[in-house]
Amino acid sequence: MLDIISKPILVSGSSVSPLEVHYAADAAQTGWNEKCFDYLKRFEAEVCRILGVRYAIATPSCTAALHLALLTIGVKAGDEVILPDSTWAATANAVAYTGAVPVFVDVCRDDWTVDPEAVKRAITPHTKAIIPVHLYGHPCKMDELNAIAKGHGIYVIEDAAESMGSLYHGKHTGALGDMACFSFHGSKTVVMGEGGVFTTNDEHLYARARFLGDQAKHPTRRFFNEEIGYKFRLSNIQAAFGLAQMERLEEIVAKKRRIFQWYREELAGVEGLELNPELPGIRNNYWMVTPILGANWKGGAERLLAGLEKRAVSVRPFFYPCTELPIYAHCRREATPVAHELHERGLNLPCGAELSREEVHYICAHLRNILTGEEDSHPVTGWLARREQFLRAREDFPSVEFLDPDFQAMDCEIRLPEGGTPTAGLLESIHRSLGFRRLFLRQAPGEKEGGSLLMELGFAEHQRIPYIGMDGYGQVELFRQTYRDVCAYETVYVKTF
């Protein structure tokens, strides 16, 4: 059987490039005073451009955006809002914040999203809105839902938290209902740590949402309020990070879809195992890779969840039906058998945007072993094997600190105790035992002698990092200060084997 790796493969993970770092650092340094909204405006404009909507409002979270959408249409105590039983509790929580009653209905077996026929049955004179959830990235049956809503004079608010980059018959989610709300939580496809965005094509809904979400400020009298408002504004620094992510959206979605294809190939032939749907006319961003076990697998998903966790693979259960949560059990109106079946037989596998083919192979080999009991004769390969070699052998070098080793490029920065100098024998031993192709060492500002010694050991200057002096903080790495302020350089040296 495959070796069990020493560190878990996490269930989610972002794709961050130098562009995000640059925008966020620029916002931190220059995005104040008259520039305090620059990145917010650019982010909202980019969301509109990509999604094909007229208006966007950046918010602190998707939950805040959902709450804002409900406030915008005046949802209040005594109203009802229809939503699927298969969703994260945040969807229902936003309804509860307004005092309205969430009404849960079942989902379709073919795409796991809200069942239009169940929605029809749930509508009453008190129904104010429908919140279809594009679950795990798959768009809902929006044409049917919009037709139902129009026939009853109610609103459609897309919970698009998980679906950034998904397409419904050529149109982006977020441009399909009256309003929509996205999440940029660190686990999502497009991230900014926390954050969300509200979108609409309706000028009046936009104006009302913008007003309520910015403390309901009076349009002409400063610091005068006639209504209770809300603080639903995103920070400029977060928006800077999110702008870079949105500019890279197609690249990130392509990574997610490639990872899903790897899973499909690795798990082909496993009887009774179904992966995420993608109905005709749909592009699923595959936010999560979600296998559903057939009835032939005894014990449902719980045995698989426990078995993979023991093998250092982080996994998540399929969302609980909301009506199974004590806080919403009283809201059950009719049975939701599909939502319950999906929870009992489904789970989420690791699918971070930078997941490698070797990791997918490892995960799938262990998944097959748990399900079938059959051994897989293929050992850990690629960068996972190199990481295991490193984890076993690094104890032979107790005086060396290894910083952020890259097991795909086989690069690593090393640090020695203060005042320590590497020897040719130590460097060769690290290369021979751990396999690194390049080793990096930093020389603190002013250590000219150390640079000469490193050159003698075969190092070459790789990068010079400028520093400025700051009272009370010593020397700080330069970002945008003028070069006349530079007081010293930290030099990075590299030795290639």
CA distance 220 to 366: 64
Give the residue from 74, 64, 61, 85 showing the smallest Cα distance to 155.
74
Are 491 and 441 within 8 A, CB to CB?
Answer: no
Nearest one of 285, 292, 276, 404 to 340, comparing CA atoms = 292
> In this structure, what are the phi and psi dihedrals at residue 215, rounded to the nearest 5 degrees?
65, 20
One of 188, 255, 256, 495 is an active-site residue; which one? 188
Q: Please, are residues 308 and 366 in contact by the beta-carbon 8 Å criterion?
A: yes
- How many C-beta atoms lie closer than 10 Å to residue 211's C-beta? 16
CA 144 to CA 156: how far, in whole Å? 11
Beta-sheet pairing, 55-59 with 179-183: unpaired
**Nearest Cα to 133, choosing from 88, 67, 81?**
88
41 included as an active-site residue: no
Name the strand (E) or helix (H) holding 415. strand 411-415
- Residue 205 makes CB contacts below 8 A (sequence gap 6+) with 72, 73, 178, 179
Q: Whole-angstrom Cα distance, residue 408 to residue 62?
A: 35
**How far is Cα 127 from Cα 3, in angstroms, rounded to an integer?**
55
Sign of CA dihedral 135, 137, 138, 142: positive
Could you say which DSSP state residue 371 is in? H
In 3-state terms, what secondary structure has residue 380? coil
Active site residues: 188
